[in-house]
Structures are given as structure tokens and as C-alpha cells.
Amino acid sequence: MCFKNIKTWQLFLFIVCVELGIYFITNQYVMTREFYEKLLGDRLTLDMINTQFELSKRFSFFGYLFIPLVTLLKITFFALLIQFPLLIKFIEIPFGKLFRICSFAILPFLLLQILTTWRGATIPINELSQQALSVIPLSINSLLNPMDYNKSVFQFLGFFHIFWILWGTILFVGLNKTKKIEKIDSLLFTTLVFLTLVCFNLGITTYLAKVFG
């Protein structure tokens, strides 16, 4: 099937279904009782760990309800990040088209989620740690020894992975196909969105490091 024959709602439904599948597998095969005990055993008592595990399982149902909304907000956020500089340059591309482009561009991240979930499910329980879980497949930090770096720095380096190249390529091609924007501008806007997300991720990583550090 040609990509242009795929309706936007069909693409969105596919993304949501994959997200739901990843969430189910994570709950069933990654976030196990042994996972909680290994990860929190040095900070919480066994009773507290069991309570936290039971609570997470009891309320996991709400995750299935929120995933479609979170996915919609995520794609909308990407589309708005692109639309803002376009409006500044008086380039009119309908938001529906930008949403569709960003829906395709998010597909590489689905693959990353699948790989990350698979990795989490296959880590031996005796090797499980915060550092091990911070390793992102095909990223810079997957090539490094986590013991040689500060935890927040190591997590930040995990943000730089090959899937951003795929995302950028899809976004660049999609913008060019609208025929309303020059190639150099497509590249510029793609780079601008990426740098914005890098700064956003750096801010979140720094904040969490201060809160939990």
C-alpha cells in the first residue's frame, strides 16, 4: 500500500495500538515484582515495595485510557513546534498536513520503544540497575560505560540516537512534498525543532537530577 493511501486516522490508530501493545508488555514482562525488589530494595522495605507494586498494577488500567490522549498531544506538540516558525515566515501549511507528517515521523520512535522494551525484558534480574535501564539502544550512551559518567550526563547522552536521523529524514521529506517550502528551510526547521527538543530534554534531565540527585 502506498503511504499516500493511508489515511491520517488510520496511521494514528496504528501508532496508538503499538503504544498499547508496548505498555501491556512492559506491565506484564518488565515491571515485575522482582523488578521492583531489585530496583528499590536498597531504599524501601519489602512491605513498601509490595505495596507500591500492588498499587501500580491496580492503577495500570488508567494507562490504557491515557495512551491515546498522550499520543495525540505528543504528535500535536511536534506539529506546533514546526508550525510556529512557519507562521513567522508566512508559510501556510494546513495543520492537518503537519499532523500527518509528524505522525509518520514518530514511527522511528515506536521502533525505539519496542527495542527499549525488549531490552528491559531481557536484562537478567541480577544485572538490573538504574544505569542498565538508562542505556538507550543505538544511542551514544549505549557505546559508553555508565560507571565513567555522572548519571544525569549519561541519561542525557541517551537522547542522541540514530532514530533522530530517521525522524529528521521523514520530516524533511514530508515538508518538501508540501511544495510550499524550500529545501534549505525544511532542513532549517527540522534542525530548529531538534535543537528545541534537545534544550527541553536537557532542562528536564537537569531538573530531575536536582530533585532525585
Query: What confidence tens digit (pLDDT) does each residue in 48-96 have?
Result: 888 888 888 888 888 899 999 999 999 999 999 888 888 888 888 899 9
Above 60 in pLDDT, residue 211?
A: no
Residue with the bigger pLDDT between 205 and 142: it is: 142
C-alpha grid cell for residue 14?
496504528
Predicted local distance difference test score (pLDDT) of residue 127 = 80
Alpha carbon distance 184, 181 (integer Å): 8
Predicted local distance difference test score (pLDDT) of residue 111 = 96
Alpha carbon distance 35, 48 (integer Å): 14
Per-residue pLDDT band at 98 (split at 50, 70, 90):
very high
Alpha carbon distance 158, 184 (integer Å): 28
Predicted local distance difference test score (pLDDT) of residue 1 = 45
Given a contact cutoff of 8 angstroms between Cβ atoms, the answer to whether 193 and 172 are in contact is no
Predicted local distance difference test score (pLDDT) of residue 185 = 85
Q: Reduced to 3 states, what is the DSSP secondary structure of residue 161? A: strand
Residue with the bigger pLDDT between 34 and 3: it is: 34
Predicted local distance difference test score (pLDDT) of residue 61 = 85
Alpha carbon distance 175, 187 (integer Å): 9
Which helix (H) or strand (E) segment holds residue 114: the answer is helix 107-122
Residue 99's Cβ-count burial label (10 Å; 0-12, 13-18, 19+) is buried
Place of cell 506484564: 28
Q: To the nearest whole percent, how much of the chain has pLDDT over 90?
A: 38
DSSP code at position 139: B
List the chain domain ranges.
Answer: 9-212
DSSP-derived secondary structure for 21-68: HHHHHIIIIIS-HHHHHHHHTTTS-HHHHHHHHHHHHHSTHHHHHHHH
pLDDT in tens, 127-174: 887 778 888 999 999 998 888 888 888 888 889 999 999 999 999 999
Cβ neighbors of 164 (< 8 A, separation 6 or more) are 108, 194
Predicted local distance difference test score (pLDDT) of residue 153 = 85
The pLDDT mean for the chain works out to 87
